[in-house]
Structure 1
Amino acid sequence: MIQQLYPQVQHNYQFELNKDMHIAAAHFIPHEDAGKCQNVHGHTYFINITIAGDDLDDSGFLVNFSSIKKLIHNRFDHTILNDHTELFSKDDPNYFPTTEGVAKAIWEVVQKELDTKANKPKCVQVFVRETPTSYVVFRPKYKEEKQ
């Protein structure tokens, strides 16, 4: 079991769920300033995904926990992140598979799936721990919804 406290994101939704998981994946950073990280190397990433919303779906879930794990774990576990060229770039530093880039890519994958749900939940935070001493939090900037 993963025992971890995560930074909290402020929101006005009634429900918040958090899904923890880990993936084993390799990557390299295609830039000379990355030093040794220019070489292919791996991590066991610890990931927490925070989803919030006001409405439950027809089965009583905001989102089914298992669907979030399948969406991320099945896609990225035991892969080379750079090979996911639909998410990562070898030329654009905004899309390098750094910890920041991994957190943003996970958010993009999750939110794309959530956008298909009738209850319209939002992914409000993705936490990615790359090493025991280093992590990134990605929080999207949502525009206020007019009521």
Structure 2
Amino acid sequence: MLQQIYPSVQHPYSFELNKDFNFSSAHYIPFEEAGKCHNVHGHTYFINLTIAGNELDEMGFLVNFSELKSLIHGRYDHRLLNDFQEFQDNSPSTEQVAQTIYNIVQESLDKRLNKPKCVQVFVRETPTSYVVYRPANHGVDHA
């Protein structure tokens, strides 16, 4: 796994964990203006999830690292992203992939009693290109 420093995100939580993993998928951007990306092609996506919270679960975890990887890797590895329902109305651009990963992860976290928050998703598509997605409220509840 590529070791690197990721952009940091400010948050008010006591605990922060980061999980790195990768998956290999193909996609195409369904617009001719996308140039070569209009053709089916593949990437090994490198992902970093930043999860934060104030409470640990009964095992002393904010969330189990393996749960985070299985949510995404098990779904997208060695698949054509365009085939997934979540990309039927949205081009599977790196930006959309990052936001979709956020949505999947946060939906899972919302079911946990300790209510951790996904505060950042980093998606590296190529050695020279990456996207960072942060929810508009940076994962902070304002209720």
Q: Which amino acid aligns with 1:145?
A: H
**1:94-105 alignment, distance < 5 Å:** 95-105=90-100
2:103 counterpart residue number = 108
2:19 counterpart residue number = 19
Give structure 1 regions of 4+ aligned residues with deviation exceeding 6 angstroms. none
What CA RMSD, in Å, does the superposition of the two structures yield over aligned residues? Answer: 1.1
Q: Is 1:88 aligned with 2:87?
A: yes
1:60 counterpart SS class: coil
- The number of aligned residues is 141
TM-score (norm 1): 0.92
1:34 counterpart SS class: helix
1:7 counterpart residue number = 7
> In structure 2, which of residues 117, 123, 126 is the aligned counterpart of residue 128 of structure 1?
123
Distance 1:4 1:76 in 2: 23
Give identity over the alignment, percent. Answer: 64
2:65 counterpart residue number = 65
Distance 1:77 1:9 in 2: 27
Q: Gapped runs of 5+ residues in structure 1?
A: none
**1:33-44 alignment, distance < 5 Å:** 33-44=33-44
Shift of residue 46 of structure 1?
A: 0.5
TM-score (norm 2): 0.95
Q: Gapped runs of 5+ residues in structure 2?
A: none
Q: Which amino acid aligns with 1:141?
A: A
